[in-house]
């Protein structure tokens, strides 16, 4: 049997490796228009920051390792057409400019996502970057070494991680977020808290401008030199990174009659099957099921991509596996701040017709007499109708993510707040207060639900 | 109504505070033979280590704060007899040596636990300490300041925490554990790992001797000067701390006809009621229900004591509350090492007639290219008959406790390994690998359970 995989960053590479582990006999062929495969794009901000010098640290498996296992890797080969009726794909070899028809028995689409490029004037000037691929990281780092000032457009995950990276490198950073809140995936009160906490550790190293957008870049053939904001303000800069989100690469699939979901990413079932026979999809190009209330969500993260790639490979190989969905768990770091979340926000719960009840507490993260004690703010959200926990957000120094992972497990088992209050979390002075902030918040939420 | 509380460290103090919060009218009276109330004894090792200088940082609520809320606190008043038939107690005032009969409507016993003193020759020499009360901490710290060498007898939680404290203070430490394993509450393989990891960071600062016991202390009126081991080896020392475990203070209750459980701690129901009417018990003197398989366990920890004190106060005040039990979750730190556990070990599962299936993995705690990456070892245990997760242990630098708290929530909801594998934990390079060690271990355990 011949398994053809399109794409080879996280989901595609994982699928290839897993498919080979399942069967030594199947023919496994991978096509990618990229020059690298199997890399951790989530690690690019840390490469730019200077945590390590060699970008090859980001590579998980090399093409040579795959070839040694008889997995054929075609770099810089762009798939330009799917022909499901004849079970073939049309491949454009970017090296020699030839095209070729390739047949498959099973096809796995792992085309990923790409940066969303907003329609800002002169966005094609040199030294204006997006961050997605290895080359992007290399180019940004090379320019950062020579720069004093940088403007980041967008205050989501990538924007915040790059803010840290550039600040650590000693550049002066201006981050522009067009909505009224950075980290807009959080509820507004927690977004506001992230802003305030960053302000308190700023020490003149960066500026965050909210509620304004970049409307025009200016410069010359040497590159961008300033950014004009919607207010008319002009920011001088040596470089710009546009980090205004990503969109799924679904055109190839859609054009072939593969169904998209409500989020406009590829729709798959729990076996990662598309609506067309023998065609699977996985990774950042597919839509996920949100386990909490079985609704569609698009959560393009490396952890999900890995699990989906594995599942697609198992099923494409003729075995059986299911991927039941995601909880929308995430964590990011910005300087000393950990920002983590899982499940629904109050905002998304309301959008989905639920009546959310929430509580926000700010507490010490360990016992008050420990020398490195700091504050953690936790927001817990429950569904009033069922009393179930449906989400949480945490912001603070240190291990805010610990509380969120404890919560993901509660969301997975559809636990009520009442039940969660019985939890017996570990306790010792260096790790938490006697009553953990999480249990503290849950107790308050429990009382609120009763009234 | 008059509520009388015996004991005021964690459970007793919490009960007094909660009882007052419930009702402004009830008379609340507390008797303790201690000179301090409402303190964090778990913080004593960190006080000795020098994380803070003033022991009063360990006090949660002062007697004055209680008095201001009309809670009467009697320090150095030892209750020497319960008379349940007349609903009275006999109190010995250690200050003026008078005894007094005191009546109650509701009685809450929170007599706690005391150090177990092994029968070692000359154990009453000066500079041989146990660690339980504030005075113990003050005395140990005063002596440590003047000492170069210390011997710790016992390698459990307190022994390991004191090892850290003395090493940080610059003393040379010899720890003697009579069993073959330090941290004997862990399974032997994990205990061995703790030993090895400590050896790897030792740098000549301490020695751990296993499988030998202290059989004799020698010295003079100035204090202990050496410890003789069962092997005949003599350890010269300036001071000794005996940390060979604790036993519950149940004599007063037992003498009055209050039933003890199989663990020899006081037996209570989920409302913290003893077998005698209007008598409640809570904290380190009571036996707990292990939620995992509803068996009796004695887990004397401050986190449990607080919850139990709260529950006892609510019920004694005429309202309704239940404490369903514990998962035996715990964490401790020894130098750079975090040691954490929850639920049953393989050993205890087998003792309880289960057939445990386990997996142990050693993995990076974050992505390999992050500068502060280190190893974490995780052991997961499932019940073969039901496929349910029943326990876990983690050892490593950093946030080993994060994985254990994620697991406690799974144990609470009686989750199977199969179900847990669907978990969606947070991921970013500074916090975990793409596939968290916990999910990695769970996947392997899932395969093992199928075979």
Q: Does A415 touch chain B (CB under 8 A)?
A: yes
How do residues A327-345 score in pLDDT, each as one tens digit?
999 999 999 999 999 999 9
* Statement to judge: residues B200 and B149 lie in one domain: yes
Candidates B47, B324, B402; nearest CB to A402: B402
Per-residue confidence (pLDDT) for residue B400, from 0 to 100: 87
Number of domains forming the structure of chain A: 3
For residue A98, tell me if it sits in a domain: yes
- Residue A434 to residue B410, Cβ atoms within 8 A: no
- Residue B408 to residue A424, Cβ atoms within 8 A: yes
- Which of B333, B395, B399 is closest to B193 using CA atoms? B395
Candidates A338, A429, A431; nearest CB to B40: A429
- Residue A434 to residue B40, Cβ atoms within 8 A: yes
- Residue A51 to residue B304, Cβ atoms within 8 A: no
Q: Does B391 touch chain A (CB under 8 A)?
A: no
Q: For position A432, which CATH number holds?
A: 3.30.390.30
Q: Are strands B88-93 and B98-103 parallel, antiparallel or unpaired?
A: antiparallel
Residues of chain B contacting residue A325, judged by C-beta atoms under 8 Å apart: 422, 424
| Pairwise CA distance, residues B216 & B225, whole Å | 11
- Residue A10 to residue B58, Cβ atoms within 8 A: no
Candidates A302, A412, A422; nearest CB to B422: A412
* Statement to judge: residues B82 and B46 lie in one domain: yes
Candidates B329, B420, B427; nearest CB to A426: B329
Candidates B342, B420, B426; nearest CB to A342: B426
Residues with Cβ < 8 Å from B61, sequence gap 6 or more? B13, B17, B37, B38
Per-residue confidence (pLDDT) for residue B399, from 0 to 100: 81
* Statement to judge: residues A179 and A262 lie in one domain: no
For residue A324, tell me if it sits in a domain: no
For residue B435, tell me if it sits in a domain: yes
Which token pair is A302?
A: 């490396």
> Is there a contact between A144 and A233 (Cβ–Cβ < 8 Å)?
no
- pLDDT (mean) for A235-239: 98
> Is there a contact between A237 and A225 (Cβ–Cβ < 8 Å)?
yes
- Residue B423 to residue A404, Cβ atoms within 8 A: no
* Statement to judge: residues B372 and B394 lie in one domain: yes
How do residues A396-431 score in pLDDT, each as one tens digit?
987 888 899 999 999 999 999 999 999 999 999 999
CA distances from B329 to A242, B341, B381 (A): 46, 6, 14
Q: Are strands A128-129 and A77-83 parallel, antiparallel or unpaired?
A: unpaired
Torsion, CA A18, CA A23, CA A28, CA A30, rounded to 10: 0
* Statement to judge: residues B259 and B216 lie in one domain: no
| Percent of chain A whose predicted confidence (pLDDT) is above 70 | 100
- pLDDT (mean) for A291-301: 95
- Residue A42 to residue B427, Cβ atoms within 8 A: yes
* Statement to judge: residues A217 and A174 lie in one domain: yes
Residues with Cβ < 8 Å from B98, sequence gap 6 or more? B92
Range 169-188 of A in CB contact (< 8 A) with B: none
* Statement to judge: residues B285 and B187 lie in one domain: no
Return the number of other C-beta atoms located less than 10 Å from residue B293's C-beta.
Answer: 18
For residue B429, tell me if it sits in a domain: yes
Residues with Cβ < 8 Å from A203, sequence gap 6 or more? none
| Pairwise CA distance, residues B101 & B89, whole Å | 6
| Pairwise CA distance, residues B337 & A191, whole Å | 34
- Listed residues B244, B261, B285: the one ending a domain: B244
Q: What is the mean pLDDT of each run of 10 residues along chain B (451 residues)?
A: 97 98 97 96 97 95 95 98 98 97 98 97 98 98 98 98 98 97 97 96 95 97 97 98 98 98 98 98 98 95 94 98 96 96 97 96 94 95 98 91 94 97 95 92 96 80
Range 56-75 of B in CB contact (< 8 A) with A: 57-58
Chain A nearest C-alpha distance from B228 (Å): 33
In total, the C-beta contacts within 8 angstroms joining chain A to chain B are 200
- Residue B46 to residue A332, Cβ atoms within 8 A: no
Instruction: Pick from B56, B428, B444 the residue to mutate for testing the A interface (most A CBs within 10 Å).
Output: B428
Return the number of other C-beta atoms located less than 10 Å from residue B142's C-beta.
Answer: 11
For residue B78, tell me if it sits in a domain: yes
- Residue B399 to residue A399, Cβ atoms within 8 A: yes
| Pairwise CA distance, residues A400 & A412, whole Å | 19
Chain B nearest C-alpha distance from A355 (Å): 24
- Residue A330 to residue B427, Cβ atoms within 8 A: yes
Which token pair is B209?
A: 């001797």
- Residue A329 to residue B422, Cβ atoms within 8 A: no
Per-residue confidence (pLDDT) for residue B398, from 0 to 100: 72
First-to-last C-alpha distance (Å) of chain B? 61
Per-residue confidence (pLDDT) for residue B354, from 0 to 100: 96
Per-residue confidence (pLDDT) for residue B401, from 0 to 100: 87
| pLDDT higher than 90, residue A241 | yes
Catalytic sites of A, residue numbers: 42
- pLDDT (mean) for A23-33: 97
Residues in chain B: 451
Please state, rounded to an integer, the average pLDDT across all residues of chain A: 96
Residues with Cβ < 8 Å from A436, sequence gap 6 or more? A403, A425, A427
Residue A379: pLDDT band with limits 50, 70, 90: very high
Reported ipTM: the value is 0.94
Q: Does B425 touch chain A (CB under 8 A)?
A: yes
Q: Does A406 touch chain B (CB under 8 A)?
A: yes
Q: Does A339 touch chain B (CB under 8 A)?
A: no
- The backbone torsions φ and ψ at residue B106, rounded to the nearest 5 degrees and listed phi first, read -130, 135
> Is there a contact between B152 and B173 (Cβ–Cβ < 8 Å)?
yes
- Residue A408 to residue B402, Cβ atoms within 8 A: no
| Pairwise CA distance, residues B199 & B212, whole Å | 18
- Listed residues A244, A269, A284: the one ending a domain: A244
Q: Does A201 touch chain B (CB under 8 A)?
A: no
Per-residue confidence (pLDDT) for residue A410, from 0 to 100: 97
Instruction: Pick from A40, A56, A424, A444 the residue to mutate for testing the B interface (most B CBs within 10 Å).
Output: A424
> Is there a contact between B382 and B346 (Cβ–Cβ < 8 Å)?
no
Which chain A residue has the Cα nearest residue B340? A426
- Residue A52 to residue B371, Cβ atoms within 8 A: yes
For residue A77, tell me if it sits in a domain: yes
- Listed residues A184, A217, A244: the one ending a domain: A244
Residues with Cβ < 8 Å from B196, sequence gap 6 or more? none
Residues of chain A contacting residue B324, judged by C-beta atoms under 8 Å apart: 422
Torsion, CA A57, CA A59, CA A61, CA A67, rounded to 10: -110
| Pairwise CA distance, residues B120 & A113, whole Å | 69
Per-residue confidence (pLDDT) for residue B434, from 0 to 100: 87
> Is there a contact between A317 and A3 (Cβ–Cβ < 8 Å)?
yes
- The backbone torsions φ and ψ at residue B88, rounded to the nearest 5 degrees and listed phi first, read -135, 160
Residues of chain B contacting residue A52, judged by C-beta atoms under 8 Å apart: 369, 371
* Statement to judge: residues A94 and A67 lie in one domain: yes
* Statement to judge: residues B302 and B342 lie in one domain: no
Per-residue confidence (pLDDT) for residue A22, from 0 to 100: 97
Candidates A10, A58, A331; nearest CB to B428: A331
Q: Does B168 touch chain A (CB under 8 A)?
A: no
Chain B nearest C-alpha distance from A114 (Å): 19
| pLDDT higher than 90, residue A27 | yes
* Statement to judge: residues B234 and B279 lie in one domain: no
Which chain A residue has the Cα nearest residue B342? A426
**Which residues constitute the domain of residue A19?**
2-113+247-316
| Pairwise CA distance, residues B447 & B253, whole Å | 49
Residue A205's Cβ-count burial label (10 Å; 0-12, 13-18, 19+) is middle
* Statement to judge: residues A104 and A170 lie in one domain: no
Candidates B58, B333, B422; nearest CB to A428: B333
Q: Does B340 touch chain A (CB under 8 A)?
A: yes
Residue A420's Cβ-count burial label (10 Å; 0-12, 13-18, 19+) is buried
* Statement to judge: residues A265 and A312 lie in one domain: yes
For residue A120, tell me if it sits in a domain: no
For residue A220, tell me if it sits in a domain: yes
Q: For position B382, which CATH number holds?
A: 3.50.50.60
Return the number of other C-beta atoms located less than 10 Å from residue A25's C-beta.
Answer: 7
């Amino acid at each position: 049997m011949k398994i053809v995989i399109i794409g080879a960053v996280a989901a595609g590479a994982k699928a290839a490796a897993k498919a080979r582990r399942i069967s030594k006999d199947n023919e496994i062929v991978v096509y990618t228009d990229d020059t690298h495969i199997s890399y951790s794009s989530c690690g690019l901000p840390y490469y730019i920051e200077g945590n390590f010098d060699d970008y090859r640290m980001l590579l998980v498996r090399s093409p040579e390792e795959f070839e040694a296992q008889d997995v054929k890797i075609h770099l810089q080969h762009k798939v330009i057409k799917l022909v499901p009726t004849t079970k073939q794909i049309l491949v454009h070899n970017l090296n020699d400019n030839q095209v070729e028809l390739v047949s498959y028995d099973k096809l796995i689409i792992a085309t990923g996502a790409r940066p969303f490029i907003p329609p800002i004037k002169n966005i094609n000037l040199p030294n204006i970057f997006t961050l997605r691929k290895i080359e992007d990281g290399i180019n940004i780092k090379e320019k950062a070494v020579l720069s004093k000032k940088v403007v980041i457009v967008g205050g989501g995950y990538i924007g915040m991680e790059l803010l840290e990276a550039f600040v650590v490198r000693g550049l002066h950073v201006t981050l522009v977020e067009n909505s009224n809140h950075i980290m807009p995936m959080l509820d507004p009160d927690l977004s506001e808290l992230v802003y305030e906490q960053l302000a308190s550790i700023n020490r003149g190293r960066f500026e965050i401008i909210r509620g304004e957008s970049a409307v025009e870049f200016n410069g010359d053939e040497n590159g961008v030199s300033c950014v004009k904001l919607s207010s008319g303000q002009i920011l001088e800069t040596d470089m710009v990174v546009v980090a205004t989100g990503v969109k799924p690469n679904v055109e190839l699939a859609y054009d072939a009659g593969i169904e998209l979901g409500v989020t406009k990413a590829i729709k798959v079932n729990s076996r990662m099957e598309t609506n067309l026979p023998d065609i699977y999809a996985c990774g950042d190009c597919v839509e996920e099921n949100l386990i909490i209330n079985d609704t569609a969500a698009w959560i393009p993260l490396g952890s999900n991509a890995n699990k989906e790639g594995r599942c697609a490979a198992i099923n494409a190989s003729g075995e059986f596996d299911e991927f039941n969905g995601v909880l929308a768990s995430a964590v990011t770091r910005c300087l000393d701040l950990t920002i983590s979340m899982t499940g629904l926000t109050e905002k998304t719960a309301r959008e989905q017709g639920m009546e959310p009840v929430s509580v926000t507490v700010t507490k010490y993260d360990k016992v008050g007499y420990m020398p490195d004690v700091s504050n953690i703010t936790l927001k817990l959200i429950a569904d009033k109708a069922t009393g179930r926990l449906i989400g949480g957000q945490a912001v603070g120094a240190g291990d805010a993510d610990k509380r969120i992972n404890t919560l993901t497990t509660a969301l997975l088992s559809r636990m009520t707040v009442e039940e969660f209050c019985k939890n017996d979390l570990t306790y010792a002075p260096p790790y938490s207060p006697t009553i953990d902030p999480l249990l503290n918040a849950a107790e308050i939420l429990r009382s609120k639900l009763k009234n």
